[in-house]
Amino acid sequence: MTLKQLEAFYWAAKLGTFAIAARRLHVTQSSLSKRIAELETDLGQLLFDRHSRRATLTAAGEILLQKAGTMLEFEREIRSSLASQELQVRGVCRFGLTELAATTWFPAFAARLEQGYPDVVLEPTVALSRPLEVAIARGELDVASIAGPFSASEVQGRPVADIEFVWTSSPSRLRRRTVLSPGDFEKHPVINNTQDSGLSAAFESWSRANGIRVGKTIQCNSRAAIIALTIAGAGISFQPRDYVQPLFDHGSLIPLESDPPMPRLTYNLIWRRDDERPLIRTIVNLVQDEADFGAANVIWTTGES
């Protein structure tokens, strides 16, 4: 019995599939299966029910799972006592991001991480909030920044920002500082994220609470595309105020008012509850220092004097 065999068994059991566990451990699926098979041979017990589509534990596997977790935790404690925190921070971090985070604070964060922890390799994935949460729960991602709350029992998190949103329009569609009435939402198409977005959920909650009916919705999974559609006059959209301030200054977009106003939205950093690696603790702490969601899109502001 080896720690690598126990590690392969533990994560396959925790994550429910050999494929995701192999990606979590950065090994091939065949290597992970071989380690588990060797462990079963050594123990003389089948640990997984091979007739199930998921990695379902046998009775022996259930007993071993708790013991394996204790042994792996003991290994982490030994390593922690023998090496400094900085020396332990290495490996691949699969980082999930919404488009807002990817184009504001994440580039500066990545540069700071490279300077301070050159042995860490970032693998960013840009997606909407709900798929990112699912990927964290499944172990397909290590850390993710999402809009709005999270609910998966496997996930824990910290708030990292509280963002003000404002309705926007092309100046060709509405006048600056127009106060949107319920009738305006039936008259003007609302350009919004798809259902997998935390922003879409926030809008639905706000409109339902205030009895607002939308006549036409244009759904899109890209914030850049939503902004471009708004600039082109295809409809109205709500945007992070600071993020689009350069477009207000340029005159491409104009801010609108609504009564009641859109609520502020909390952004959270999330990761698995059972992931206690120093790498994850370091990433979480650095994000809290670096995450500036109030910044404008870094591409729009490049070259400004």
> pLDDT for 28-67, tens place per residue?
888 888 889 889 888 888 898 877 677 788 888 888 988 8
Higher pLDDT, 294 or 196: 196
CATH of the domain at 43: 1.10.10.10
Cβ pair 185, 163 in contact under 8 A: no
How sure is the predictor about 242, in pLDDT bands with cuts at 50, 70 and 90? confident
Residue 201, pLDDT > 80, answer yes
Q: Can you list the alpha helix ranges (DSSP code H) found in the chain?
A: 3-15, 18-25, 29-43, 59-82, 85-88, 99-102, 106-116, 129-138, 182-187, 198-209, 223-231, 241-250, 278-290, 298-301
User: Which helix (H) or strand (E) segment is 121 a member of?
Assistant: strand 120-126
Residue at a domain's end among 32, 53, 82: 82
Instruction: Report the candidate in 112, 123, 121 with the shortest Cα–Cα distance to residue 91.
Output: 121
Instruction: Report the candidate in 249, 218, 250, 222 with the shortest Cα–Cα distance to residue 233.
Output: 218
Residue 84, pLDDT > 60, answer no
Supply the pLDDT for residue 83: 56
Supply the pLDDT for residue 186: 93
Q: How, if at all, do strands 56-57 and 217-219 pair?
A: unpaired
Residue 250, pLDDT > 60, answer yes
Supply the pLDDT for residue 228: 96
Do 236 and 174 fall within a single domain? Answer: yes
Q: Does residue 276 sit within a domain?
A: yes
Q: Does residue 305 sit within a domain?
A: no
- Rounded Cα distance, 261 and 172, in Å: 22
Do 259 and 281 fall within a single domain? Answer: no
Q: Does residue 157 sit within a domain?
A: yes
Residue 279, pLDDT > 50, answer yes
Residue 173, pLDDT > 70, answer yes
Supply the pLDDT for residue 80: 67
Residue 85, pLDDT > 60, answer no
Do 158 and 272 fall within a single domain? Answer: yes
Q: Does residue 56 sit within a domain?
A: yes
Instruction: Report the candidate in 121, 140, 101, 124 with the shortest Cα–Cα distance to residue 267.
Output: 101
- Rounded Cα distance, 298 and 151, in Å: 31
Report CA dihedral (58, 64, 65, 66) to the nearest 10 degrees. 130
- Among 49-58, 67-76, 153-162, 273-282, where is mean pLDDT lowest? 49-58
DSSP 25: H
Q: Does residue 110 sit within a domain?
A: yes
Q: Does residue 97 sit within a domain?
A: yes
Q: What number is the average pLDDT over the span 221-232? A: 95
Give the residue numbers spanning the domain of 201: 165-263
* Residue owning tokens 């670096």: 290
Q: Which two tokens stand for residue 291?
A: 């995450």
Q: Which two tokens stand for residue 145?
A: 């920044």
Do 173 and 254 fall within a single domain? Answer: yes
- Cis omega (within 30 of 0) on the bond before 260? yes
Do 120 and 140 fall within a single domain? Answer: yes
Supply the pLDDT for residue 231: 96
φ, ψ for residue 138, nearest 5 deg: -80, -10
Instruction: Give 192: exposed, middle or buried? Use CB within 10 Å, 0-12, 13-18, 19+.
Output: buried
Supply the pLDDT for residue 300: 65
Cβ pair 278, 89 in contact under 8 A: yes
Supply the pLDDT for residue 88: 64
If one counts the domains in the chain, the total is: 3
Q: Does residue 158 sit within a domain?
A: yes
CATH of the domain at 286: 3.40.190.10
Do 270 and 157 fall within a single domain? Answer: yes
Supply the pLDDT for residue 98: 95
Do 294 and 223 fall within a single domain? Answer: no
Residue 305, pLDDT > 80, answer no
- Rounded Cα distance, 197 and 100, in Å: 12
Q: What is the pLDDT of residues 116-139, one digit of tens each?
A: 889 899 999 999 999 999 999 999
Do 26 and 147 fall within a single domain? Answer: no
Do 101 and 181 fall within a single domain? Answer: no
Mean pLDDT of the chain: 87
Q: Does residue 272 sit within a domain?
A: yes
Residue 272, pLDDT > 70, answer yes
How sure is the predictor about 301, in pLDDT bands with cuts at 50, 70 and 90? low
Residue 81, pLDDT > 80, answer no
Q: Which two tokens stand for residue 169?
A: 């329009």
